[in-house]
A and B are shown apart, each in its own frame.
Chain A
């Protein structure tokens, strides 16, 4: 019996091994300074993913700036003020539901809300792409932050109150700093998720062929979008760069997750 279960374990881990092997093998071969520093004009031509790297960082950065503070404050409300009240439970429930919303639907919704003239009419661009990513990241930040805040022992709050701190002072000066490592962990996992999302960006950032620094109004590039462009067309340079792009994304997400796990583990000691 243990053998069957063990075989299952191997089978479960095998895809991860295969993916890492393939990405490192092919991506490593195609990785170069040129890849990181130049722009490809089409999958046929030489070049690199600089515009995608810039775009991904730019959009993920804005998305993090939006979703992390709002998410942590929302979790603060749930833990410190709402507790088990009806409103708080409703928020919790729908936050959980929101983690399961298809990411392409988020893209459609942000498109309808922000891009078209029936909505805000902002057009495609960096900010609307970031808004889509932020919408995906927000419930993740809220959930994990709530968990972390709940782990802060109640007697710290009592001690703070006994010293004459007001509610908000206790939250800001005691509870949030005590939960900080966990909050950082949760935020990093959310960022890893945001950086890896591609589907909603098809409908909001659209993609670009050069480095875009505009905040909004001009379609923005993304590593994932460039990859899909590259590997869906039969041109070698584009395909090779797609592998390198995959390697880049894997490295970024793995770095974030490993660091997050490391911070979380250290805290337990």
Chain B
């Protein structure tokens, strides 16, 4: 018999204790890390709600959400001010809606362009170009928006609309201020475009080949295929992408804070200045006394609940379509 000595010799097949315990330890470590995500999220929610509770309890949830006066008290120990979140919720939703309405058609069009029209070799480059928009920090958006875009682009467009026949409608009426729901909505549109485009593109790419081929075989033009096959099939993804974009728009802070104008008037015109939840927190935190901070926590929790609902619905819809890849950092 010619067998050589195996490495490790003829050690018993029974394992030794030290090597046997390494596996469970590693697994436990990895499990703990996975659980940490849940723990952190839970800790954030619990702590903020607990700290904010006195404000909700004192004001009552309804009047907190629908009141339009925000007058913080100075107390260190009890709730003495009046807190009505409506103007800020109004501004948050209004600017986000403007952003969505601008971004959605653009995202669909860009998704169709990249997937269907652009030459194959350029596809990656174009997609990358759109995604790069997501990599720009929001403080840079604020800066360029403040010093260039709102003065050279948004305000002129707003003024043109307000001066046109459309300006009769309350929504489009003047005066047109430099900072407004409109300005904030525009910057939000740019900021949410990447994630919406990414998800919609992914959805369009998943249109079953057979259906496309069948349509082409019946003599459909590319535009008809888009209209009758790709778009209808893409509706869940479009809805999901829209909701994700909405979630992102609701939560944006710096860019909105500097472009929305800090007015609590709740004007019906989109061209007038307003305020938002995130701007309020950003602008008033530093001077807020303990009571004021609780109120900011309360309005922050409110915003969190809204964005969480929007995001959960969005993710549920997208899960139906299939978990998208690569959108984690967008």
Task: Mark each residue of chain B from 105 to 133: 1 if its CB lies under 8 Å from any CB of chain A, else 0.
Answer: 11001101110111000000010111011
Q: Is A212 an interface residue (CB 8 A)?
A: no
A254 to B131, CA, bound (A): 11
Distance in Å: Cβ of B227 to nearest Cβ of chain A: 9
| Complex Cα spacing A197 to B252, Å | 11
List the A side residues contacting B293 at CB < 8 Å: 111
Contact indicator per residue, chain B 174-202, by CB within 8 Å of chain A (1) or not (0): 00000000000000001001000100000
Cβ B117 vs Cβ A5 within 8 A:
yes
Among A1, A81, A97, point to the contact of B31 (Cβ < 8 A). Answer: A81
Contacts of B41 in A (CB 8 A): 94, 97-98, 101
- The answer to whether B51 touches A112, judged by C-beta atoms less than 8 angstroms apart, is yes
CA A232 – CA B325 in complex, angstroms?
38
Segment at the A interface, from B135-143, B157-165, B204-212, B228-236: B135-143
**Provided the pairs A6-B113, A13-B129, A77-B30 are in contact, do residues A189 and B22 lie with their beta carbons within 8 angstroms?**
no
For B45, the closest partner residue in chain A by CB is A109
Binding site for A on B (CB under 8 A): 19, 22-23, 25-27, 29-31, 33-38, 40-41, 43-45, 47-48, 51, 105-106, 109-110, 112-114, 116-118, 126, 128-130, 132-133, 135-144, 146-149, 190, 193, 197, 222-223, 226, 244, 247-248, 250-254, 258, 278, 281-282, 285-286, 293, 296-297, 300-301, 303-304, 307-308, 310-312, 314-315, 325-326, 328-329
Is A224 touching B117 in the complex (CB atoms < 8 A)?
no
CB-CB contacts of A91-126 with B at 8 A, as 1s and 0s?
Answer: 101111111111111101111110000110000000
Q: Are A108 and B308 in contact (CB under 8 A)?
A: no
Complex Cα distance, B273 from A163, in Å, reads 68
Contact in complex: A100, B311 (CB < 8 Å): yes
Are B297 and A112 touching (Cβ within 8 A)?
A: yes
CA–CA, A82 and B37, complex, Å? 15
Query: Would you call B38 and A118 a contact (CB within 8 A)?
Result: no
Is B304 a contact partner of A197 (Cβ separation < 8 A)?
Answer: no
The main secondary structure of chain A at its interface with chain B is helix
- Within the complex, the shortest CB–CB distance from A260 to chain B, in Å, comes to 9
Distance to closest chain B CB from A44 (angstroms): 18
Known contacts A94-B37, A100-B247, A199-B278: does B113 contact A228 (CB below 8 Å)? no
A16 contacts B148, C-beta separation under 8 Å: no
With contact pairs A103-B253, A186-B328 given, residues A88 and B282 touching in the complex (Cβ less than 8 Å): no
- Interface assignment of A8: CB less than 8 Å from any CB of chain B: yes
Question: Is B35 a contact of A113 with CB atoms below 8 Å?
Answer: no
Complex-state Cα separation, A135 to B122, whole angstroms: 36
Among B47, B144, B197, which residue has its beta carbon within 8 angstroms of that of A112? B47
B117 with A104: CB separation less than 8 A: no
CA distance A193 to B136 in the complex (A): 9
In the complex, residue of chain A having the shortest beta-carbon distance to the beta carbon of B132: A16
Query: In whole angstroms, what is the CA distance A19 to B323 when docked?
Result: 32
**Is A139 on the interface with B (CB-CB < 8 A)?**
yes
CB pair B254–A199 under 8 Å, yes or no, is yes
Check if A242 is an interface residue, CB within 8 A of chain B: yes
Verify A12–B106 contact, CB threshold 8 A.
yes
Report whether over half of chain B's contact residues are helix, strand or loop; otherwise say mixed: helix
* Sampled A-B contacts (6; CB under 8 Å): A26-B147, A73-B30, A112-B47, A166-B19, A167-B23, A193-B135
Interface flag for A53 (CB, 8 Å): no
- Check B48–A108 contact: CB distance below 8 A: yes
What residue of chain B has the Cβ atom nearest to residue A16's Cβ?
B133
B contact residues around A77 at 8 Å (CB): 27, 30-31, 33-34
| Chain A: number of interface residues, binned into ranges | 35 or more
CA distance A135 to B248 in the complex (A): 17
Kindly state the separation between the CA atoms of A213 and B282 in the bound complex, as whole angstroms: 25
Q: How far is the CA of A202 from the CA of B283 in the complex (A)?
A: 10
Nearest-CB residue, chain B, relative to A97: B311
- CB within 8 Å for A73 and B329 given contacts A101-B251, A105-B251, A253-B137: no
Contacts of A91 in B (CB 8 A): 34-35, 37-38
A12 & B27 in contact (Cβ 8 Å cutoff): no
Say which residue of B37, B43, B193, B312 sits within 8 Å of A113 (CB atoms).
B43
Residues in B with CB closer than 8 Å to A196 are 135-140
Q: Give chain A nearest CB distance to B186 CB in angstroms.
A: 9
Q: Which of B30, B43, B197 contacts A80 (CB 8 A)?
A: B30
Q: A104 with B35: in contact, given A9-B114, A15-B190, A231-B143 (CB under 8 Å)?
A: no
Minimum CB distance partner of B329 in chain A: A189
- Interface 1/0 per residue, A30-73 and B, CB below 8 Å: 00000000000000000000000000000000000000001101
Which chain B residues border A257 with CB–CB below 8 Å? 132, 135
Contacts of B222 in A (CB 8 A): 1-2
Q: Does A18 contact B (CB under 8 A)?
A: yes
Contact: A198 with B137, CB < 8 Å? yes
Contact indicator A97/B48 (Cβ below 8 Å): no
A249 and B329 alpha carbons, distance in the complex (Å) = 17
**Chain B residues with CB under 8 A of A19:** 136, 140-141, 144
Assuming the contacts A139-B37, A228-B139, asked whether A8 and B44 have C-beta atoms less than 8 A apart, the reply is no
Task: Identify which of B35, B40, B128, B325 contacts A138 (C-beta below 8 A).
Answer: B40
Q: A96-B315, A102-B278 are in contact. List 15 more A-B contacts (CB 8 A).
A: A5-B117, A6-B113, A13-B129, A87-B34, A101-B251, A105-B301, A105-B304, A106-B44, A108-B297, A142-B37, A144-B326, A192-B135, A198-B139, A202-B282, A254-B135
